[in-house]
Amino acid sequence: MVIEGLDGAGKRTLADALVAALTARYASVTRMAFPRYGANVHADLVRDALHGRLGDLAESVRGMAVLFALDRYDAADQLRALRRRYDVVLLDRYVASNAAYGAARLHEDAEGPFVEWVRALEVDRFGVPVPDIQLLLRVPMSVAAARMDHRAQGERARRKDRYEADHGLQARCAAVYDGLAAGGWLAPWSVLDGTAGAGQLTDVTMRLLGG
């Protein structure tokens, strides 16, 4: 299961609640967040680029997309092993994030060529596992921005990266996410109201899982 959404949508909060709910029902669950900062060199290069430490690398939409994709390629065998071992593998961001943010940077929609390029790269060429279900946490831009500001204030060592700080990009990305979900891109989607409480969102998600 993949949780997708804008920066500040509440993905980590929902993941925490889902892990607790699934464990309480004696389901085995594990989780992973992409990019895997600190665990993979490609993810670390992404972080450096997003914070302006790699010159003009971040200006290349496809260059950045390849780094994001290589992080998942490196994790692909691990993901397949986790699927065999656990009842639920919960991912905070996955292939759709790459498609949504890259398309938004290029001012394309969910049916544009960049989205297809990402699918061909990650699924066809790199062979990353396709998720069973994707959850889109949809929130108003004002809510996402306020949450990001609060997070940045609470984590003194963490400043916003260039994607998080670009409100125009975030707005375009939200539209691409809506298109991906409406078209059932890559795997089935369920759209959730990200302004709802974690308990309500967890109950809705558990029903989707049949729990």
pLDDT the model gives residue 211: 57
Q: Is residue 69 within 8 Å of residue 122, measured between CB atoms?
A: yes
Nearest to 194 by CA among 2, 13, 1: 13
Residues near 86 by beta carbon (within 8 Å), at least 6 away in sequence: 28, 29, 30
CATH 3.40.50.300 fits 2-208, yes or no: yes
pLDDT the model gives residue 162: 81
pLDDT the model gives residue 207: 86
Rounded to whole angstroms, how far apart are CA atoms 148 and 154? 10
Q: For the chain, which residues make up each domain, given as ranges? A: 2-208
pLDDT the model gives residue 43: 96
State both tokens at 109.
């929609």
pLDDT in tens, the chain (211 residues): 999 999 888 899 999 999 999 999 989 999 999 999 999 999 999 999 999 999 999 999 999 999 999 999 999 999 999 999 999 999 999 999 999 999 999 999 999 999 999 999 999 999 999 999 999 999 888 777 787 776 656 555 556 788 877 889 999 999 999 999 999 999 999 999 988 887 888 888 888 887 5
Query: b/e per residue, 153-187, with b = 16+ CB within 10 A?
Result: eeeeeeeebebbebeebbebbbebbbbbbeeebbe
Neighbouring C-beta atoms of residue 6, cutoff 10 Å: 30
pLDDT the model gives residue 197: 82
Whole-angstrom CA distances from 142 to 62, 66, 93, 191 are 28, 30, 21, 18
Q: Is residue 58 within 8 Å of residue 52, measured between CB atoms?
A: yes
Is omega for the bond preceding 188 within 30 degrees of 0, making it cis? no
Q: Identify the H or E element spanning 144.
A: helix 141-154
pTM score, whole prediction: 0.91
Q: Is residue 67 within 8 Å of residue 34, measured between CB atoms?
A: no
pLDDT the model gives residue 158: 56
